[in-house]
Chains A and B, each alone.
Chain A
Amino acid sequence: MGEVELRNVSYSFGDRVALEDVSFELDSPFFCAVMGPNGAGKSTLLKLMLGLLKPQKGMISIMGYDVPREANRVRRLIGYIPQVINIDHRIPMSIEEVVAMAALSRNLPPRIVTGEVRRRVREALELVGLDDPSAQFSELSGGQRQRVLIARALVGEPRMLLLDEPYSMLDFDMKCEIADLLYRLHRDRGIDIFLVAHELSPCIHLEPTVILLNKRVYAIGRAGEVLTLENLRRAYPGLTEIPAGFILGEDHG
């Protein structure tokens, strides 16, 4: 059994099918990027892997745990980084508040930030290249916000990071910086990376394992093997040729 295994997983929101008969297996160590168009079920896949949604059909196992039954155990081993766009930046939160909650989430309220927690927060921030825990989250750039969310995931010392569109709303240089940061965490700290994105540009040079998804898995393997016109046509209906910048992202288009 692989570190991550999905077998015949299906999920629908009412009549709308999000995922259908999805199966794949990944062995650690992996740096995996799931690619697919909008509405392909990428975020749903992450929520199923975290146990935030339960599959209506099929089986999901992560690190030997049956996710729907043992979601709390799985979440202790995984750091989740949601889409920045889903975060309400209007809520007044300091970086320390954002990151410390992850360190305190296993405690019962009141969740008090102790000196030990502050030290762990500082260490996590150093790993992602940030140094001022008192800064307000709302005042940070897109790239810095992404780094804070990665630091929040790291403070729990996870074995795997799940990232939802980590490159969205960033300029190309920033996307590359985030991709390189993820790769360093993978290489130096042995953290498995599983990210979903609708473009691969920033991380394609890192040679990730690519899963081509549009409600079902169309291909899985090394980028060069998966990103063929034939496979892309199946996952992206209406595509006649690979446009410049399609794989490399809009910024290179």
Chain B
Amino acid sequence: MPLDLLLLIYLSAAANGLLIGAISLPLIISRSILFALTMTHSILGGAILGVYLNEVLGISLPVPVTAFLMALILSILVAELSERIFSEDVSIALAVALATTITVVFSYLLAKASSTGLSLAWVYVAGTSAVATLGDLQRTLTGLVITAPLMHLISGEIKYIAFDRDGAEAMGINTRLYRYLFFALGSLTASILSMSIGVLATHVLLAIPGAIAVRFFRRRLFAASYLSATSLSLGGYALAQVMNIPPSGGIGILSAIAVIGMVVARES
């Protein structure tokens, strides 16, 4: 493989890792990881809807935009439902059911109408091939520049709201604004990552670096989250090349090893 392409792949992997590190820790410490479940399911539904709009209806709306919007809308739906009507887990289950319905219905319609549509949509399940493009790197870096500073700015408030929402509101903290901003950043991150490493690996990776940071470190949790996310991402890409599988597969294998490692460390 040419050196410049190899460099591009590993720069993309490192950028993916940093992007994940920025969002994973707040997701874990605010106990919002189930929201990531909503986001990843929504991204899949949104991506397939986007491909359907492009391929069948000829509406040229970028697929990452429909994926991002779907994730954002369903995350906000979960927040509103859990605030007004249902418990959080029921609200998440409803949103996931809705996202899955959209995925199934539009997959079926896409399969009927277009011979190539489903394979385009599949990119969002498994990720692109191990070959990264300059566009991938630019997209990830853009997401990183937006997400990382804002997450550092609001992560304390996000944690506090999860700790004591009534108390935070009584202090005058606008809990709804912070939560929506958090969901928007989470949806943006997940939709960018899903294009390169797929929805499944994104879901796994969103949880693990933050969990490692909280489990093994008492200070500098963000640094630990960035480091573990970047290590998993770079290691996953390397493993994928060695095994000749998609990057999501390599990341998935390394993540599984990390989870087993955490369980063993906890037991011992």
Using a CB–CB cutoff of 8 Å, the interface residues on chain A facing chain B are 47, 50, 52, 72, 75-76, 78, 80, 82, 86-88, 90-93, 97-98, 101-102, 105-106, 109-111, 137, 149, 152, 156
Q: CB-CB < 8 A to B216: which residues of A?
A: none
- Give the interface SS of chain B, mostly helix, strand, loop or mixed: helix
Whether the Cβ atoms of B31 and A88 lie closer than 8 Å is yes
- Considering the complex, give the chain A residue whose CB is closest to the CB of B218: A92
Whether the Cβ atoms of B167 and A80 lie closer than 8 Å is yes
B171 touches which of A75, A86, A137, A149 (Cβ 8 Å): A75
Whether the Cβ atoms of A93 and B159 lie closer than 8 Å is yes
Determine how close the nearest CB of chain B comes to the CB of A43; give it in whole angstroms.
9
B159 touches which of A86, A91, A156 (Cβ 8 Å): A91
B-side interface residues, number (CB < 8 Å): 22
Whether the Cβ atoms of A101 and B171 lie closer than 8 Å is yes
Which segment, of B16-24, B131-139, B150-158, B229-237, faces chain A? B150-158
Whether the Cβ atoms of B166 and A93 lie closer than 8 Å is no
- Given A80-B167, A88-B163, A92-B214, A109–B153 Cβ distance below 8 Å? yes
- Distance in angstroms between the alpha carbons of A101 and B155 in the assembled complex: 13
- Considering the complex, give the chain B residue whose CB is closest to the CB of A76: B172
Using a CB–CB cutoff of 8 Å, the interface residues on chain B facing chain A are 29-31, 152-154, 156-157, 159-160, 162-164, 166-173, 214
Q: CB-CB < 8 A to A110: which residues of B?
A: 152-153, 156
Most chain A CB atoms below 10 A, which of B156, B168, B173: B156
Closest 9 CB pairs of A and B: A105-B171, A80-B170, A91-B163, A82-B166, A87-B164, A109-B153, A82-B167, A50-B170, A101-B160
Q: CB-CB < 8 A to A75: which residues of B?
A: 170-172
Q: CB-CB < 8 A to A47: which residues of B?
A: 166
- Distance in angstroms between the alpha carbons of A190 and B166 in the assembled complex: 25
Q: CB-CB < 8 A to B30: which residues of A?
A: 91
Whether the Cβ atoms of B166 and A90 lie closer than 8 Å is no
Q: CB-CB < 8 A to B214: which residues of A?
A: 92
Whether the Cβ atoms of A109 and B154 lie closer than 8 Å is yes
A52 touches which of B154, B162, B170 (Cβ 8 Å): B170
- Distance in angstroms between the alpha carbons of A75 and B168 in the assembled complex: 11
Q: CB-CB < 8 A to A156: which residues of B?
A: 171
